[in-house]
Amino acid sequence: MSNSERKKGLGAAARVTALASSVMDLHVRIALQEMDREKRRLISGVIFLATGGVLMLLALLGSELIFGFWIKDLLELNIKNTIIILVLINLVLAGISLRIGGYLAKGPYLPETLEGIGKTTKAVLGKN
C-alpha cells in the first residue's frame, strides 16, 4: 500500500469517527434536554400531588369535625367521649386498611420488579 493510500484511509476513518462523535454529542445533548423536560414535569406532578394531598387532609379533618359534632349531638355526649369514639373508629379503619394493604403488598415479585424497585429506591435516596 502506498503512502497516499494510507493517508486517504486514515482520513476517511477520521471523518467517520468525527461524524460518529458528532452524532453521539447531538444524541447526548437531546437526551439531556429531554431529561430536563421530564424532570420539570415530574417535579410539577409531585407538587400538585402534594397540594392535593394536603387539601385532602384538610377536607378529612373538616369532615371528622362535622362527624364528631353530629355524634355529640346525636348521642348527647361530652367532647371527651366524642373524641374517644372518633379515635376508636379511626383506629379500626386504620387497622383494616393496614391489614388489607399488607396482604396486597405481599406476594412473589418477579426479579425484574425487585431490581426496578431497588434502582428506584437508590435513585430517590441518591445512592449509586
How many domains would you assign to the chain?
2
Per-residue pLDDT of the chain (128 residues; tens, 9 = 90+): 555 555 555 666 777 777 777 777 777 788 777 777 777 787 888 899 999 999 999 999 999 999 999 999 999 999 999 999 999 999 999 999 999 988 887 777 777 777 877 877 777 777 76
Q: DSSP character for 107?
A: S
Please check whether residue 98 lies inside any domain of the structure.
Answer: yes
pLDDT at 64: 95
Residues 7 and 47 in one domain: yes
pLDDT at 81: 95
What's the CA gap between 109 and 93, in Å, rounded? 28
Residues 48 and 95 in one domain: no
Residues 43 and 85 in one domain: no
- The residue segments making up the domain with residue 13 are 1-58
Angle formed at CA 79 by CA 78 and CA 84, multiple of 5 degrees: 105
pLDDT at 12: 67
pLDDT at 3: 57
Please check whether residue 104 lies inside any domain of the structure.
Answer: yes
Residues 48 and 83 in one domain: no
Q: Give the domain-ending residue among 25, 58, 91.
A: 58
Please check whether residue 118 lies inside any domain of the structure.
Answer: yes
What's the CA gap between 43 and 11, in Å, rounded? 47
Please check whether residue 125 lies inside any domain of the structure.
Answer: yes
Please check whether residue 82 lies inside any domain of the structure.
Answer: yes
Residues 52 and 96 in one domain: no
pTM (global) more than 0.85: no
pLDDT at 1: 54
Residues 50 and 12 in one domain: yes
CA atoms within 13 A on the CB side of 19: 6
Please check whether residue 70 lies inside any domain of the structure.
Answer: no
pLDDT at 88: 96
